[in-house]
């Protein structure tokens, strides 16, 4: 097998990367190969996240990697995307942990917080000593966050929060929750620390997807927080949606990693597995599936590399991210399903990573904007007509 195929770089995109970008990718890949792959199936089976690896991830600069200052690595967006790709090649839950810590929680403070809030939280979050979560989705409000029912009202020089958030990654293990709530002026954000009276969490069990990720409910019952915990720059849906754009960017890259893992597994399996007179890889239908996988992964790589350059140049629009998230995750899910089929009965056992990636990608295709929601975002951009309502 050629090096290009082994690394799945069919169009020599590695030639377009800088030494620093390659180093970030290769460092993340070594970490995943050494620390994640040997244990991730056990975590998936037991519905646990490998918290003991958080200090190593922090030491490698994975938290807030593309943020500048406050102890963050200050990488460019190509390097950050490549890290997300390698983390999800290990498991979507691992990439989700890093995405929520970085692109949702840290970025929310970075973009909307006061200088005092940034200095207080971001350095410790970059070190992995404070874990964050992002409380936007509610039991009855997912694709339409503007319909949220969580409320905040002024109380003297502070605020009182009431409401419930659901499907919150890192919820019960977070030290700080970014909670979005409605106020008289619209929607704004608050910093709610673990242990605040009236604030509790409850984990969601019985998931068949993202099992190596902690998913929780956040319950706020007359939670009083000081004025200093208000993200005063966050006004309207622009605040949380700006964070979601950052997270979706990382998801678009991450999906490539999951798809690549499934491709390699299917390729190795069909080359070694004999049926009738030859290896499975020698049959036309199998080769057609492998070619389709390679094609879609290569296209996704090209989309993400261009998206990263636009982001670094300040030219990226949310619609660009919708295009990448919608396409890359949907194609990765198709690749995982085909790979599972190509492995036959072995496709459903944890001796191979395919079924785990396939189940995870069902969730990734839904969260941070469903396939259909991103379709409507792009449709609105093309036509100028809003089909949401």
**Hey, which residues are catalytic here?**
368
How does DSSP assign 281-315, residue by residue? GGSHHHHHHHHHHHHHHHHHHHHHHHHHHHHHTT-
Report the candidate in 322, 348, 320 with the shortest Cα–Cα distance to residue 336: 348
Coil vs helix vs strand at 120: helix
How many CB atoms are closer than 10 A to CB 10? 14
φ, ψ of residue 132 in degrees (nearest 5): -115, 160
CA 59 to chain centroid: 20
Q: Which ranges of the chain would DSSP assign to H, the alpha helix?
A: 3-6, 19-31, 40-46, 54-59, 77-90, 92-99, 107-112, 115-126, 238-272, 284-312, 318-342, 354-364, 371-383
Cβ burial of 9 (10 Å; 0-12, 13-18, 19+) is: middle
Cα–Cα distance list, 353 to 52, 90, 92, 264, 265 (Å): 22, 9, 12, 10, 8
The conformational region for residue 319 under phi > 0 = left, psi -120 to 50 = alpha, else beta, is alpha
Write the CB contacts of 218 (distance below 8 Å, at least 6 apart in sequence): 133, 135, 164, 165, 166, 168, 171, 177, 179, 199, 200, 201
**Parallel, antiparallel, or unpaired: how do β-strands 230-231 and 176-183 relate?**
unpaired
CB 346 within 8 A of CB 74: no
């Amino acid at each position: 097998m050629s090096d290009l195929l082994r690394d799945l770089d069919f169009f020599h995109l590695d030639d377009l990367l800088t030494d620093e970008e390659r180093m970030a990718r290769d460092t993340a890949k070594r970490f995943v190969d050494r620390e994640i792959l040997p244990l991730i199936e056990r975590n998936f089976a037991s519905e646990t996240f490998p918290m003991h690896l958080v200090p190593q991830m922090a030491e490698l600069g994975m938290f807030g990697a593309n943020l500048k200052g406050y102890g963050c690595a200050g990488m460019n967006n190509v390097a950050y995307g490549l890290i997300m790709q390698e983390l999800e090649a290990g498991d979507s839950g691992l990439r989700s942990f890093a995405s929520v810590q970085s692109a949702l929680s840290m970025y929310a403070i970075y973009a909307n917080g006061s200088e005092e809030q940034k200095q207080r939280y971001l350095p410790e979050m970059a070190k992995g000593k404070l874990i964050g979560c992002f409380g936007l989705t509610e039991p009855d409000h997912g694709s339409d966050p503007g319909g949220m029912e969580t409320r905040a009202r002024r109380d003297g020089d502070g605020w009182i929060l009431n409401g419930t958030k659901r499907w919150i990654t890192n919820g019960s293990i977070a030290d700080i929750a970014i909670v979005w709530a409605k106020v008289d002026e619209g929607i704004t954000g608050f910093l709610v620390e673990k242990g605040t009276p009236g604030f509790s969490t409850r984990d969601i069990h019985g998931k068949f997807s993202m099992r190596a990720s902690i998913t929780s409910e956040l319950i706020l019952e007359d939670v009083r927080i000081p004025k200093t915990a208000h993200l005063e720059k966050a006004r309207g849906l622009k605040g949380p949606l700006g964070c979601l754009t950052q997270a979706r960017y990382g998801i678009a890259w991450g999906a490539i990693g999951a798809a690549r893992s499934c491709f390699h597994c299917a390729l190795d399996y069909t080359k070694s597995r004999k049926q009738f007179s030859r290896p499975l890889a020698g049959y036309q239908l199998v080769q057609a599936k492998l070619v389709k996988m390679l094609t879609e992964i290569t296209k996704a790589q090209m989309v993400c590399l261009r998206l990263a350059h636009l982001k670094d140049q300040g030219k990226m629009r949310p619609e660009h991210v919708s295009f990448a998230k919608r396409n890359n995750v949907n194609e990765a899910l198709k690749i995982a399903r085909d790979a599972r089929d190509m492995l036959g009965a072995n496709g459903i056992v944890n001796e191979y990573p395919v079924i785990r990636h396939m189940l995870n990608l069902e969730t990734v295709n839904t969260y941070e904007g469903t396939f259909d929601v991103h379709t409507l975002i792009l449709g609105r951009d093309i036509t100028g007509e809003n089909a949401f309502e």
